[in-house]
Structure 1
């Protein structure tokens, strides 16, 4: 089924999920992985530090949105107990695509679908306000997750509510409401939502990464940014 989903995603075009007026030519790739030695030259301890850093990268490249992060191993989750505990392996491999822009940008449905669930995940480092859509294409059911939204984005939402490809469904959130991150959209594709509502892991441990790679294909297969 995973291979069928990947083939489906590669053969359809999703709508831009953030600020559709911005052309992909104005995007830049951003590497926040543990392998980017250049990050050591910056003080990156909180949301404000990351906002300044990301804006400096956008300015340098004359870009408007920075993208990246799928299967990226990162250090930025160490500040939050959401990603580690005494009884579990540390989770530090990102399994969605991040789209960074330092404003409350508009967020849009990638495809036709319905609202599967939504909630405010309020722990430090979590998604903050989150919406999950359910899609059905060629008898394949899958899901798209939109994390780090504004609180207002959850108002007047109903489970089962229809959405149309490209329709504005939310606005980007700001720290600390968005989990206390620099403003960005966490966008993720999910094949099996399991029993989750309003939430689904966006970061994996090394031991579980094969499962999540299969269950959460690269969102760029659908968005086609790069």
Structure 2
């Protein structure tokens, strides 16, 4: 059975409260052709427009799409030398800061860092997992600084264990509060990081190495 099929049939613990993970969602389109940009101006940025749409639709979570082309990163310090990175290869789960993050399956902490350059992950944690003969990783970005305090490389996190919290704008790399969640098969040379936005020129490799996080989230009608 393929890796993707193995994940799809497995029952994972929710990574955030089920009220959010499976609740009414605003699926956010941040691609260049999105209608959202017609509502954006100097006094009303895309984050404010997303919040307006959340209130209008009574959504409880904002979901940023996997494999989406975006042009929102190029004005940040983190992307100043890599303007060709525009393909988002995680899923963003927009919920209030302070909410708990849970392990979807038992894992080992293999990386943790506080990447504070504007536009970066802020606090980030990577777990390594084993499932039916496959080794893979999950990445959690834009966390609260306190999430790093009681962790260390090699620590085992049990299925469903609370191990992190969602960070604020002031600590999460300068973004509206959300969790960037990503699956990574092979970390390659990366020690405490893995890109969540990549050059579309390498799309085939990255989408194979980081398949859709919804294989673990398991929300209906979400790729």
TM-score (norm 1): 0.90
Q: Does 1:134 align with 2:134?
A: no
Q: Does 1:59 align with 2:55?
A: yes
Q: Does 1:166 align with 2:160?
A: yes
2:20 aligns to what?
A: 22
Q: Does 1:68 align with 2:64?
A: yes
- For the aligned residue pairs, the C-alpha RMSD in angstroms reads 1.9
The 5 A counterparts of 1:1-226 are 4-22=2-20, 24-43=22-41, 49-85=45-81, 90-226=84-220
Cα separation, partners in 2 of 1:90 and 1:23, compared to 1, 3 Å: closer
Q: Which runs of 4+ in 1 moved over 4 A?
A: none
* Cα deviation 1:179-204 (Å, max 9, x = unaligned): 10000000000000112122101001
Cα separation, partners in 2 of 1:80 and 1:50, compared to 1, 3 Å: same
Cα separation, partners in 2 of 1:201 and 1:23, compared to 1, 3 Å: closer
Aligned residues: 220
Does the CA-based 8 Å contact 1:84-1:91 persist in structure 2? no
Cα separation, partners in 2 of 1:172 and 1:44, compared to 1, 3 Å: farther
Q: Unmatched 5+ residue regions in structure 2? A: none
TM-score (norm 2): 0.91
Cα separation, partners in 2 of 1:155 and 1:69, compared to 1, 3 Å: same
Report deviation, 1:64: 0.8
Q: Unmatched 5+ residue regions in structure 1? A: none
* Cα deviation 1:138-157 (Å, max 9, x = unaligned): 11100000000011100010
